């Protein structure tokens, strides 16, 4: 992890890449608005908050100059059940012939569960992997989607510029009928499942527990052509190559089209020094984009410019000594408190440390 320095993607499961891609799209949309200040552009997805922009009050960063439009809904399509708690019944069906929990077994060393330990349902799990792979602390897609029901789909970087509003949360997750377990989804994501405590837990202003709806497609719906082959179909193996496409913003930039291998763009060494290895979705590239946008926002003058208290806090993007200092500062305080509520609710959430001691001043 310390070798990543913000340049290597930790998690390349499809749901995570889709969320990171959405954040990149929204940030490029912000860029398209602020870099055309002399001739304002229209975005069908975002709008300026203008007079609604507040200031840091010690517990809640409310100085974001933009927000997602109220008529925009965010949906996610998953061709497979998200790994982790939401898919355990289907994993058991394919392994044991039924969906009954197996006999309880104590997990060694307090490590996170992977696909095994079927007696433990409703728990935080790590990303499943090959049997000979080293254990990871990267949480399952079920757990990460559960977290997004409280923190919103906005990453830390995007949340500095885009306000947390009700429509910044997933409204629905769309899944094929044979990839849906009502029990698993209700337990993993529903208000009566493992997140029941979050309904009454105190959260920072603007944040809330907003469960998404699971929309199940009809059984005769045309399947995703690149889905995992059905049982009894042609043999296949999981690959380590990810294809990423992010549409271009409304008024600026180009679409992202990348092939990712081991967390970096294909053709580059994972921990090499070549700046071109970084995916547009990496932490470093995301913060480079945020910093560029903030410079443009701070350069704006006149009635539409952000208030002085907001400027003072945005300047810390350039004065912070590391990414960790940024996340632990005032800009990330409310989001960190919201995440802490989820971590407390779920229990067993072990932090994935090591890739935070790098600065935006370091070249990529």
Tell which residue, 120, 143, 169, has the closest CA to residue 15. Answer: 143
Structure tokens at 47: 């709008």
Q: How far apart are CA 114 and CA 348, in angstroms?
A: 13
3-class SS of residue 79: coil
Task: Considering only the C-alpha atoms of the chain, give the largest distance between any 2 of them, rounded to a whole number of Å.
Answer: 67
Structure tokens at 38: 């002399």
| Contacts of range 136-139, beta carbons closer than 8 Å, 24 or more positions apart | 136/352, 137/112, 137/350, 137/351, 137/352, 138/10, 138/11, 138/352, 139/84, 139/112, 139/349, 139/352
Angle at 294 between CA 290 and CA 300, to 5 degrees: 150
**Neighbouring C-beta atoms of residue 345, cutoff 10 Å:** 18
* Active site residue ranges: 15
Strand partners, 213: 172
Q: How far apart are CA 290 and CA 309, in angstroms?
A: 19
45 burial level (CB within 10 Å; 0-12, 13-18, 19+)? middle
**Neighbouring C-beta atoms of residue 81, cutoff 10 Å:** 24
Tell which residue, 91, 116, 118, 88, has the closest CA to residue 103. Answer: 118
Structure tokens at 175: 């899944």
Angle at 132 between CA 137 and CA 233, to 5 degrees: 100
DSSP 8-state secondary structure symbol assigned to residue 190: S
Q: What is the rounded end-to-end Cα distance, in angstroms, of the chain? A: 17
């Amino acid at each position: 992890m310390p070798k990543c320095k913000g340049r290597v993607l930790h998690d390349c499961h499809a749901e995570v890449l889709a969320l990171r891609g959405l954040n990149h799209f929204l940030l490029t949309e912000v860029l398209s608005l602020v870099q055309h200040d002399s001739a304002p552009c229209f975005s069908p997805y975002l709008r300026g908050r203008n007079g609604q922009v507040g200031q840091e009050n010690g517990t809640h960063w409310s100085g974001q100059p933009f927000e997602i439009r109220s008529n925009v809904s965010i949906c996610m399509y998953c061709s497979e059940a998200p790994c982790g708690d939401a898919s355990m019944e289907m994993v058991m069906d394919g392994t044991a012939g039924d969906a009954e929990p197996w006999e309880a077994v104590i997990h060694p060393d307090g490590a996170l569960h992977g696909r095994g330990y079927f007696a433990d349902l409703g728990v935080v799990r790590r990303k499943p992997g090959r049997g000979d792979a080293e254990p990871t602390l990267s949480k399952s897609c079920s757990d990460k989607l559960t977290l997004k029901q409280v923190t919103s789909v906005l990453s830390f970087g995007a949340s500095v510029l885009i306000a947390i509003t009700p429509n910044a949360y997933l409204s629905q997750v769309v899944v094929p009928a044979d990839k849906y377990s009502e029990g698993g989804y209700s337990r993993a994501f529903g208000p009566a499942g493992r997140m029941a405590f979050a309904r009454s837990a105190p959260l920072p202003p603007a944040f809330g527990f907003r469960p998404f709806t699971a929309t199940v497609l009809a059984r005769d719906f045309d399947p995703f052509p690149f889905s995992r082959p059905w049982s009894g179909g042609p043999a296949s193996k999981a690959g380590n190559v990810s294809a990423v496409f992010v549409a271009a913003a409304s008024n600026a930039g180009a679409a992202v089209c990348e092939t990712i291998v081991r967390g970096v763009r294909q053709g580059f060494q994972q921990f090499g020094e070549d700046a071109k290895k970084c995916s547009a979705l990496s932490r470093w590239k995301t913060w480079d984009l945020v910093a560029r946008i903030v410079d443009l926002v701070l350069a704006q003058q006149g009635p539409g410019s952000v208030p002085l208290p907001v400027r003072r806090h945005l300047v810390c993007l350039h004065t912070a000594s590391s990414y960790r200092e940024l996340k632990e500062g005032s800009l990330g305080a409310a989001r960190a408190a919201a995440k802490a509520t989820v971590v407390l609710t779920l229990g067993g959430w072990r932090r994935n440390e090591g890739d935070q001691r790098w600065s935006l001043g370091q070249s990529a």
